Chain A
């Protein structure tokens, strides 16, 4: 004989998923031939029979129960339809009896404890599509898709904190704008609003939310060109490269120096927001040219990266303008040495991407009007403050008169609308 009632109004049933097992399934779902799902629970043990409760349940309600949003008891106390009471006799000559009972007739001893919850990871959205499908969609739509996949152990449903999602989305658009500013602007501003061209080209839209634990997909508002290229595609490709877990700190620093302070800070802010999720995160992009590429970072790796960025992209970044003598230069290594004519202070560091072509044509011993970025770092171990310099601009000076160094703090952090962590604390 079957564990489930036979020849009853419930129909022919098959067990689908067991939630509680003790000497057999005690709480489980089963499905009838007509596709009705029942949540079944053992209710009473008697000398001559067992009593079971069968609750017809919708998929949506089941997901809430399965993921622990509702205590199991509440499913019985707030049924979507009738409750069936199935009595299975020990004497197999007596047919199984199934009757409808009112929820007010439920006895407390039949039901689980008030606080008992089934807590299983449950996809409450349709699952995110595979990388192959993501790429196909991107090609069909003729635009770049970017995916942020958040894997949280703390979330049993495909849901995420509104605050955190808002912060991540805001930081994402911000880093895209900032990287786009480097990509598109001839002289990327380090403060103020981005140009209309940058904003238009870097616009993205949220186009999909999916499960696993939670997936956000955004797509470029502008399409890719015939070759599958676009500013957004280049920016996202660069962003994912920077997140590579294999990248060493020196290479990361060099890549960020090429981005200039403002974009580097926006990258730091972006990583901060990902780290605040306290989850494993996978970032992926798909488009015709770059195909599908992704970087998966554990929550620990995100914390490590956040701490590293705190060191190499400090809060205090200054812009220095002055008239200087080029006394050292190596095109291959992209390093320089400049001495300020006014203060006689020497600056050595790396040649930023924006100054490479100017630097290649420079002559040792000549005087130049110079723009440098200065990254201040406090080395806790050594107890000293160190400075790293990046050459941003090098222009031949027609005037050799020393001028005082102009120093400006670049304070514009690519700040999201708000920090989820701050909101939560």
Chain B
């Protein structure tokens, strides 16, 4: 049984999500990788870092996940397209663990939503690959 936070919306992660497994890329703030690099919006809100601003009422489950990519070219393309992401670093890690994973492409790229449990520690596997 996964230990999902009580603040996850109902039916989240969705039924079609699969067990988290494999290597993925994530943008992080520095060489020293912190758990906060993997925080979802909701976690940032709960930590008092940001307000709760949602982009769609139907996407609340997205709001508690974090973005990862299967392909390095896709994450690098994403980073190039957005001013505040340009200074971030690309990290690669094995996400195999308690989490759930769902392919959620934007314009056919390899974007995935990763939902992490309260006790998920797979983020420690990530290393900056710049």
Q: A90 near B50 (CB under 8 angstroms)?
A: yes
**Once bound together, how far apart are the Cα atoms of A91 and B48, in whole Å?**
10
Q: B66 near A18 (CB under 8 angstroms)?
A: no
Q: Is A20 an interface residue (CB 8 A)?
A: yes
Query: Within A1-42, which residues are at the interface with B (CB < 8 Å)?
Result: 1-4, 15, 18-27, 41-42
Contacts A21-B67, A116-B77, A120-B107 known; A26 to B82 CB distance under 8 Å? Answer: yes
Nearest-Cβ distance from residue A142 to partner chain B, whole angstroms: 44
Q: A112 near B80 (CB under 8 angstroms)?
A: yes
Choice from A4, A22, A88 contacting B82 with Cβ under 8 Å: A22
Q: A43 near B51 (CB under 8 angstroms)?
A: no
- Smallest CB-CB separation from B39: which chain A residue? A23
Nearest-Cβ distance from residue A212 to partner chain B, whole angstroms: 18
Nearest-Cβ distance from residue B109 to partner chain A, whole angstroms: 9
B residues with a Cβ closer than 8 A to A are 27, 40-41, 49-56, 62-63, 66-67, 77-78, 80-87, 104, 106-107, 111
Q: B83 near A110 (CB under 8 angstroms)?
A: yes
**18 A-B residue contacts at CB 8 Å?**
A1-B53, A1-B54, A2-B53, A15-B55, A20-B78, A20-B82, A21-B106, A22-B85, A23-B66, A24-B41, A26-B81, A26-B85, A44-B83, A72-B81, A90-B49, A90-B51, A110-B83, A113-B81
Nearest-Cβ distance from residue A10 to partner chain B, whole angstroms: 16
Q: B106 near A42 (CB under 8 angstroms)?
A: no
Q: B107 near A19 (CB under 8 angstroms)?
A: yes
Nearest-Cβ distance from residue A186 to partner chain B, whole angstroms: 57
Q: A22 near B41 (CB under 8 angstroms)?
A: no
A residues with a Cβ closer than 8 A to B are 1-4, 15, 18-27, 41-45, 72, 88, 90-92, 109-113, 115-116, 118, 120
Contacts between the two chains (Cβ within 8 Å), count:
84
Q: A116 near B80 (CB under 8 angstroms)?
A: yes
- Smallest CB-CB separation from B111: which chain A residue? A21
Nearest-Cβ distance from residue B34 to partner chain A, whole angstroms: 15
Chain A residues with Cβ below 8 Å from B54 are: 1-3
**Once bound together, how far apart are the Cα atoms of A1 and B51, in whole Å?**
8
Chain A residues with Cβ below 8 Å from B62 are: 24
Contacts A23-B41, A23-B67 known; A41 to B53 CB distance under 8 Å? Answer: no
Nearest-Cβ distance from residue A107 to partner chain B, whole angstroms: 8
Contacts A24-B41, A88-B53 known; A19 to B106 CB distance under 8 Å? Answer: yes
Q: A115 near B66 (CB under 8 angstroms)?
A: no
**Once bound together, how far apart are the Cα atoms of A91 and B50, in whole Å?**
8
Most buried by B among A22, A25, A26, A27: A22
